[in-house]
Amino acid sequence: MQVHEKLYINGAWVAPKGTDKIEVIDPSTEQVCGVVPAGNGGDVDDAVAAAKAAFATWSQTSAQERSNFIKMLSEKVTENAAKIGELCATELGTPLQTSIGMHGGLGIGVTSSYIDLPFEMEKEEEIGNSIVVKEPIGVCAFITPWNFPLHQILAKLSPALAAGCTVVVKPSSDTPLTAYYLAELLDEIGLPAGVFNLVTGPGRTVGEAMCIHPDVDMVSITGSTEAGVRVAELAAGTVKRVAQELGGKSAMVALEDADMAEVGARAGGGICGNSGQVCAALSRLIVPRSGQAEAVAAAKAAAESVVVGGAFEEGVVMGPVSSRAQQETVTDYIRKGVEEGATLVTGGPEMPEGRNVGFFVKPTVFADVTSDMAIAQEEIFGPVLCVIPYDTEEEAIEIANDSVFGLSGAVFAADPERGKAAARQIRTGQVSVNGGAFNVAAPFGGYKQSGNGRELGPHGIAEFVELKAIQM
């Protein structure tokens, strides 16, 4: 068990202002696997003061200096991918080998993609008699979720460092151990004091104190839409910039010429990735009515082939969901789907066979889902796939866009050009065609209630930049 008694502020491990603690629960075993401090507003004040003081010098460093630090961080993440995977497996429940490849691998990909981007800050643009220059926005507060404990911090931290910003991070109370390890790595590379600060604690105290603090220039949150709305409301009082990467209910659209068996298998297995706890999860499979039976059969077979178990058990493909509360949320939605009249193809609200400890959920597939059902509209954030039949391609696009969310999506078609044409009609921040791979250098973010702003790659750094026009 890991016990952390201090916070990381101004380049040092310091005692928190209060004495409250947060217990971290291993979702595979329901045992306490860690303890961290529950910080408060006073800790936030100290962290922000450190970040503000550090900004004066860090913002003036050369692009080469910042690039060197990002490169050192990338090397540290690469060297310690196994340790990162072990931490995520313990506090989140992702199967160990998957965790090393996914959580460690994403960390490597994101940080390495930013090594050369500090030099973007040195580029100037001439418009008539004006010179437009880029400057870092200032002190940034990051509120990050539990489903990708390292990636969601690095996706914000990497561009912030590249731009010349300083940061205060509040990780999720469910998965703070990985954030502590990241702080240790940043300390090892000698990142200047105050550039990175870590304050753990409840969102209602630490998170809200960050949002209203007059010396915080920007807040970036990844979380639920409800949390994003609350952050925007609090930040409005001091007119902060707010970047939000929020919920999703993404659709996988199979056009009539697609291979229904392939699409169904991809959807049934894919929804189990990270136990379905992925904001961009393709949780709605939209198929031609004539092809629903074939797609559903393949989805059922794929879901039933997924081995569910503890993160450190041999051969496990899907671990538990993150917490008891999340388990109850997911199983309540499964019950609601049955009540709404959807056809339960496989899975259900009961614990997987042979499991009575841990926050496990059966991979679940519903067929005959209609767009007006709660399971088709609301983010479940678990291994639950909804198959929705359509009669025309126009109706398929309409169903895909019939959501308050707009984060991700996918299209499958025998004709790639036809697939690309359909992808252009789906109102989401990302769409893959025929299984196009996730790209850490491409912008990631949402339309509608999935958020504002973009993360990753050159477009991600823009969120941390102020533009200044110098008239000559």
Q: What CATH number does residue 321 fall under?
A: 3.40.309.10
Question: What local confidence, expressed as pLDDT, does residue 294 receive?
Answer: 98
Give pLDDT tens digits for 233-252.
999 999 999 999 999 999 99
pLDDT, tens only, 53-73 = 999 999 999 999 999 999 999
Q: How far apart are CA 13 and CA 291, in angstroms?
A: 59
Q: Are residues 100 and 216 both part of a single domain? A: yes
Task: Answer yes or no: are the C-beta atoms of 78 and 161 closer than 8 Å.
Answer: no
131, part of any domain? yes
Chain centroid to Cα 33, Å, comes to 23
Closest CA to 151 of 82, 68, 84, 90: 84
270, 397: one domain: yes
218 & 109 share domain: yes
Q: Sheet with 465-471: list strands edge to edge.
A: 125-127, 130-136, 465-471
Name the nearest CA neighbour of 274 among 106, 444, 54, 466. 106
Reported in sequence order, the residue ranges of 27-177 that DSSP labels E, i.e. its strands, are 31-37, 125-127, 130-136, 139-143, 166-170
Same domain as 320, residue 265: yes
CATH code of residue 40: 3.40.605.10
Helix, strand, coil shares of the chain, percent, nearest 5, are: 40, 20, 35
CA dist 68 and 189 (Å) reads 10
What SS3 state is found at 194? coil
Angle at 20 between CA 16 and CA 25, to 5 degrees: 110
Residue 12 belongs to a domain: yes
CB 171 within 8 A of CB 151: no
Assess whether 199 and 256 both reside in one domain: no
pLDDT band for position 52 (50/70/90)?
Answer: very high
- CA–CA distance, 294 with 391 (Å, rounded to integer): 16
Query: 399-447: per-residue pLDDT in tens?
Result: 999 999 999 999 999 999 999 999 999 999 999 999 999 999 999 999 9
Confidence of residue 23 (pLDDT cuts 50, 70, 90): very high
Q: Answer whether residue 444 is part of any domain.
A: no
Q: What is the pLDDT of residue 90?
A: 98
In sequence order, the 6+-apart residues with CB closer than 8 A to the CB of 181 are 80, 83, 84, 87
Q: What is the DSSP letter of 102?
A: I
Whether 170 and 287 share a structural domain: no
Verify that 53 and 123 share a domain, yes or no. yes
Burial class (CB in 10 A: 0-12, 13-18, 19+), 468: exposed
At residue 266 the predicted structure's pLDDT band, cuts being 50, 70 and 90, is very high
Task: Identify the pLDDT of residue 172.
Answer: 97
Strands 166-170 and 139-143: parallel
Tell me: the pLDDT tens digits for 149-197?
A: 999 999 999 999 999 999 999 999 999 999 999 999 999 999 999 999 9
Q: Give CA–CA dist 11/197, Å, rounded.
A: 8
For the question of residue 256 being annotated catalytic, the response is: no
Q: Is the pTM of this model over 0.85?
A: yes
Per-residue model confidence (pLDDT) at position 399: 98
Distance CA 245, CA 446 (A): 7
3 state DSSP class of 390: strand
Average pLDDT, the chain: 97
pLDDT value of position 32: 98
- Choosing from 279, 379, 455, 463, the catalytic residue is 279
For residue 444, the 8-state DSSP code is B
Instruction: Grade residue 345 by pLDDT with cuts at 50, 70 and 90.
Output: very high
Domain co-membership, 240 together with 262: no
Contact 406, 429 (CB under 8 A): yes
Cβ-in-10-Å burial (0-12, 13-18, 19+) of 261 comes to middle
**Would 284 be classed as within a structural domain?**
yes
- Other C-beta atoms lying within 10 Å of the C-beta of residue 460: 29
Distance, CA of 403 to CA of 254 (rounded, Å): 18
* Same-domain pairing of 261 and 169: no
Gap between the Cα atoms of 287 and 60, Å rounded: 54
Provide the pLDDT for residue 398. Answer: 98
- The string of pLDDT tens digits covering residues 272-317 is 999 999 999 999 999 999 999 999 999 999 999 999 999 999 999 9
- Do 42 and 64 touch, CB atoms closer than 8 A? no
In sequence order, the 6+-apart residues with CB closer than 8 A to the CB of 173 are 22, 24, 36, 38, 200, 201, 202, 203
Residue 193 and residue 256 in one domain: no
**Can you tell me whether residue 255 is helix, strand or coil?**
coil
Return the SS3 of 432: strand
Q: Is 126 a catalytic residue?
A: no
Query: What mean pLDDT do residues 3-31 have?
Result: 98
pLDDT score recorded for residue 355: 94
Question: Which residue do the tokens 């900004």 mark?
Answer: 55
> What is the domain count for the chain?
2
User: Could you identify the residue written with the tokens 């930040």?
Assistant: 235
DSSP 438: P
| Contacts for 51 with CB less than 8 Å, ≥ 6 apart | 139, 166, 167, 168, 194, 195, 197, 215
Q: Is the dihedral of CA 226, 230, 233, 235 positive or negative?
A: negative
Q: Clarify whether residues 242 and 254 are in a common domain.
A: no
Give the other-Cβ count within 10 Å of 338's Cβ: 15
Q: Which phi and psi (to 5°) does residue 451 adopt?
A: 130, -175
Mean pLDDT of 363-383: 98
Range of the domain at 98: 2-246+449-471
pLDDT-based confidence at residue 112 (cuts at 50, 70, 90): very high
Rounded Cα distance, 376 and 403, in Å: 9
Which pLDDT value is given to residue 34?
A: 98
Q: pLDDT (tens digit, 9 = 90+) per residue, 71-95?
A: 999 999 999 999 999 999 999 999 9
- The arithmetic mean of pLDDT across residues 116-145, rounded, is 98
Name the residue type at position 41.
Answer: G
* 210 lies in the same domain as 292: no
Residue of 86, 208, 245, 455 marked active site: 245
